[in-house]
Amino acid sequence: MPEPTVLRTVLADHPHTAALKSGEIRSDRVELSFTDVSPVHRAFAPMVRDEAYDLSELAVVTALQAIAYGRPIVLLPAVVASRFQRGCLIAHASRPVGPQELAGARIGVRSYTQTTGMWVRTHLAEDFGLAVRDSRWITQQGPHVAQYTDPEFVRRDADGTSLPDLLREGRVDAAVLGNDLPGGDEFVRVVADASARDEQWWRRHGFVPVNHMVAAGESVSREDPAAIREAYALLRRADATVEHPVGTPSPTLFGFEQLRGPLELIIDACLAQGLLPRRLDVDEVFGPARDILGDDAA
């Protein structure tokens, strides 16, 4: 039996990746050699700039920008992280603000291209008519895709102060945080009824806002497409070990057609926010993956 293809892999710790990372689910054809990158967003720039991994979790905005700028990735129809986003916009409890007060306000976000920030801006426009240019966006980091340049209404604050500290000091009026969202009662949600609005949005659209998908490197996809097919099958097998009851929000989503609607919505949002240089078509986005996985990938 030939030696398995070793794929340099970065996936965060999720219930649906646990069986892969523990070795409970494995393949004779492919070996997933995991690199621990924490937080996982630190893997994104090396992936899209240098093809540092063969298989990597990747923020959907970063993935779409990488495709638009011709970076060497193949986006697979696999969502591994989704989350409701309205509660990620917070203010300091001593200076609470409502969504209607954000016109002209300073809003901090790790990076303008951060996917959570994209979703927050999308919801502010949907729910409250707040256009992206109506606020001032204060960032700490640049984009993962080096070819992208932030719009002129985005300002970089590079002194290293954390977003919670910027809120404490009153240097921003609100801030977008994701997995690092602080607990306790020092900070409050800007959208007070975020949970109810999130549920209504999910019931209307049928999916949870997508954060992270999985991308393969262009080189390994060209040299060993069978290994990528096997890796995708492993992702599906691992996801099947976690129960996702019908009628409840699921953080995962697989398949070309299942992702067509979500990606069309995300592409429209990215265009409205100046995150893409041109409109991408979903068939263009998934073209290389479809060549590898076939039309029946689900």
**Structural domains in the chain, sorted by start:** 5-83+208-293 (3.40.190.10), 86-204 (3.40.190.10)
Band of the pLDDT at 180, cuts 50, 70, 90? confident
Q: What pTM value is reported for the model?
A: 0.96
Mean pLDDT of 224-249: 94
Read off the pLDDT of residues 39-76 as tens digits, 9 standing for 90 and up.
999 999 999 999 999 999 999 999 999 999 999 999 99
Band of the pLDDT at 11, cuts 50, 70, 90? very high
Mean pLDDT of 127-132: 97
Dist CA 48 CA 92 (whole Å): 35
**pLDDT for res 298:** 65
**pLDDT for res 55:** 98
**pLDDT for res 1:** 62
- Closest Cα partner for 285 from 47, 56, 55, 74? 74
Cα pseudo-dihedral 260, 87, 117, 92, rounded to 10: 180
Read off the pLDDT of residues 200-217 as tens digits, 9 standing for 90 and up.
999 999 999 999 999 999
The burial of 202, by beta-carbon neighbours within 10 Å (0-12 exposed, 13-18 middle, 19 or more buried), is given as: middle
Is residue 187 helix, strand or coil?
strand
Residue 176 forms beta bridges with which residues?
A: 89, 109
Read off the pLDDT of residues 138-162 as tens digits, 9 standing for 90 and up.
999 999 999 999 999 999 987 889 9
Cα pseudo-dihedral 193, 196, 199, 205, rounded to 10: -70
